[in-house]
Amino acid sequence: MAQNLLTPALNVFEHMALDEVLARSAFTAPVLRFYHWTAGPAVTFGYGQFYGSVRAQTPPQAGPLCRRPTGGGMVFHGEDLTFSLVFQTAQKPKEIYAALHGAVERALLEQAHMASLRQGEVPASAYAPQQNGAAGGCFVNPVQDDLLVNGQKILGGAIRRFGSAVLYQGSLQCAGARTNPVFRRAICAGATAWLGVLFETRPAPPEILSAARTRAVSQYQTAAWNEKL
């Protein structure tokens, strides 16, 4: 049974750790999770980005920094709806983005009545984890299959494989994204339509949360991880 896991409020390090724990777990059915954040903003940055460049572009009030297990650019978390999806597929990342974002787009159009537009072909040079010596911001440069409203990117994501499992981490950034339940429903509906499964809402198992908290301390909040590049 596919699961929509509920968690207590977690900080940025615990969220990144929990996503990796879920990707490395024995779950065979898809797992969807909407982040429940502790108070205050935070910043995540891509696995391949340079810490010094990220640090130089991040004001102190932006909150703690954490390197994600996935790629992509810097993401400022404050009012966004952050979520992750763990599933198994043989599709390539480009195919996953097109299919998943397409399904979420249709759900947003139907349920949130948003005028979402798909981004067309974008040259690879238009977006990279680092641009001209500066770390790229995930929501600065739209790439193919991101979702946009009036030319402004509202949904982006990053992917990493862990064996046969794929971890997708996404951020929806638009007015009311985190507080309006219609957006959660739309994302869940999009994932349901794409994967062909129904998600059963249930609390995250205590052993999973414990493993995530342990990994957060031993890995994600350490300088060895965050400043590795």
**What are the extents of the domains in the chain?**
2-226
Whether 129 shows a pLDDT value over 60: the answer reads no
The answer to whether the beta carbons of residues 157 and 170 sit under 8 Å apart is yes
pLDDT at res. 132: 45
As a whole number of angstroms, the distance between CA 20 and CA 14 comes to 10
Task: Report yes or no on whether pTM surpasses 0.85.
Answer: yes
- Residue of 169, 23, 20, 5 whose CA lies nearest to 88: 23
pLDDT at res. 77: 97
User: What's the average model confidence in pLDDT over 146-173?
Assistant: 92
Q: Can you spell out the DSSP letters for 56-108?
A: HT--GGG--EEE-SS-S-BEEESS-EEEEEEEE----HHHHHHHHHHHHHHHI
pLDDT at res. 139: 46
pLDDT at res. 206: 97
User: What's the average model confidence in pLDDT over 175-193?
Assistant: 96
pLDDT, the chain, mean:
90
Share of the chain above pLDDT 90, in %: 79
* Domain 2-226 falls under CATH 3.20.20.70: no
Q: What is the pLDDT of residues 55-73, one digit of tens each?
A: 999 999 999 999 999 999 9
Helix (H/G/I), strand (E/B), else coil: 32:
strand
User: What's the average model confidence in pLDDT over 88-94?
Assistant: 93
User: What's the average model confidence in pLDDT over 78-105?
Assistant: 95
User: What's the average model confidence in pLDDT over 117-145?
Assistant: 56
User: What's the average model confidence in pLDDT over 177-205?
Assistant: 97
What phi, psi does 138 have (nearest 5°)?
A: -60, -35
What phi, psi does 167 have (nearest 5°)?
A: -105, 120
The answer to whether the beta carbons of residues 177 and 156 sit under 8 Å apart is no
Q: What is the pLDDT of residues 6-19, one digit of tens each?
A: 999 999 999 999 99
> Cβ–Cβ contacts within 10 Å for residue 73, how many?
25
Structure tokens at 183: 């957006």
- Crossing angle of helices 206-215 and 12-23, in 10° steps, is 120
At 138, the pLDDT band (50, 70, 90 cuts) reads low
